Amino acid sequence: MRSCPVVDRLACEAMDQEDPLRAFRAEFVLPDKEIYLVGNSLGAPPRTAAERVRQAVEDEWGRHLVGGWNESGWYAQPLTTGDRLAPLIGAGPGEVVAGNTTSIAVYQAVSAALRLRPGRRVIVVDRRNFPTDNYVIEGLAELRDVSEGRFDDAAAVLLSEVDYRTGARYDVPGMTARVQAAGALMIWDVCHSVGALRVDVSAADLAVGCTYKYLNGGPGAPAFLWVSPRHQEAAENVLSGWYSHAEPFAFEPGYRPAEGIRRFTVSTPHVLSFAALEAALDMWDRVDLDRVRAKSMALTSLFIDLVGDRLELASPREAERRGSQVSFYHPDGYPVMRALIDRGVHGDFRAPDILRFGFAPLYTRFTDVWDATQIIAEVLEKELWRDEKYAVRLAVT
C-alpha cells in the first residue's frame, strides 16, 4: 500500500479503492459529512452492536430473567470473552480475563507483581504513561511501602506500548528483555495499541488493556488482564471478590482462589457491556492485523505529509516508531481543536498543548485524510480558532 505524498483528492480516492479493508467501513455507524479521527479515544459503534444489546435485554434478560446466567452464558463471559481477545495481544486460551476497568486491572497486575517479587519494593513507571496507571501506583505506594528506583531494584516495570499523548511506540521485545534481565516483571499497558497493530505480549509477564478504543467495544466496555501462564499458579489477586472464588456458589465463609486465569476475575460481569463488545469481536474475528498495521502506517504517514509544516509534529516521523495516531504541538491547541470539530474534523486535545488525531484503519479512509488536512489548513491560515467561544473549556477535552 502506498504511503507517499499525494497531490490531489483523486489519488486518495484511488488509494481507497485499492484498500483491502475498505468493506469494513460499511459495518460501522458513522455520521454523514463528519471526519472521525478519535478512534484512539472511543471507537465508532459496529452496526451490529445495537441489535446484540437488544438481544441481551429482550431475548436473554427479558425471557430468562435470572436464568440468563446459565441459559445465555453470562456467567462465563469474563473467560469466553478473554479467550476471544487473546489472539489480538499474542496470547493463548486461558490467559486473558475480561471485565472491570483498566484502572482495576492495573491495580491487580502491579499488586500481583509485588507478591511475585518479595523483597523488592520498587515499581518503575514512565511519567508519560496514561495518568491512571501512575495514579494507581501512587496509591499502592502509600499502602504497600512501594518506592521509585532503578530496574535493578524493581519488582516490576509498568509501561504503555504506545504513548497516549504523542503516539510514540516502545520497543516491546527489547524493553521486555531488558526488564526481565534485571530480575523484574514486565507489565504492558496496551490500551493505545490493541486493535491498531499486531500486539504481542507473550514474552512479558502481565498486561492490561481496554476495548473501547480501536476495538470498538463501546463507552465503558470491559477491560482485560493477561497473566503469563508461567505465573498463574503463583500469582495472587489482591481483589479477592466472590467471582474468583474456587467455588463461588458454595458460599464459604473464607476465600479460596480459583485455578488459572479465573482467579483474576473480581465480581459480577457487566452483561450489557459485554454484549456490545461481543458484537465488535464478531467483526475482529475476520480482521487481518497485518493489513490493519499497513493501512495505519499509510494513513498516518499521509496525514503528516499533508499537514506539512503548518503544525509542529509531536509524534515520531518514522511510521514504525508510532502507533495509529498523529499528534502536533500548538500553544493554543484547545481552541484550534474546537474550531476543527465545529467544521467536522473530530480529534481531541491533551493538555497542555497536544492536538491528537487517531486513525482507525477499519473505517478511516484516505479521502478522510485529504479532506481533514484541507480543513486544518483553512482553520490555521484564517485563524478561525480565535473566535472567543472556542476558549471555553468543555468538561471532556
Which residues are known to be catalytic? 130, 189, 212-213, 356
Can you list the positions of beta strands (E) in the chain?
A: 35-36, 96-98, 122-125, 154-160, 185-189, 206-209, 224-227, 312-313, 325-329, 345-346, 348-350, 354-358
307 and 336 in contact (C-beta within 8 Å)? no
User: C-alpha angle 370/38/269, rounded to 5°?
Assistant: 150
Taking each helix axis from N to C end, the angle separating 333-342 and 366-381, rounded to the nearest 10 degrees, works out to 120
Q: d(Cα 355, Cα 315) in Å, to the nearest integer?
A: 11
DSSP letter string, 37-99: -BTTTSPPPBTHHHHHHHIIIIIIIHHHGGGHHHHT--TTHHHHHHHHHGGGGT--TTSEEE-
d(C-alpha 44, C-alpha 327), whole Å: 20
**Residue 284 and residue 215 in contact, taking contact as beta carbons nearer than 8 Å:** yes
With beta carbons less than 8 A apart as the criterion, state whether 303 and 357 touch.
Answer: yes
Work out the angle between the directed axes of helices 102-116 and 131-144 (0-180°, nearest 10).
Answer: 40
Cα distances (Å, whole numbers) of residue 76 to 60, 86, 87, 98, 202: 15, 15, 18, 10, 24
DSSP code string of 173-200: HHHHHHHHHTTPEEEEE-TTTBTTB---
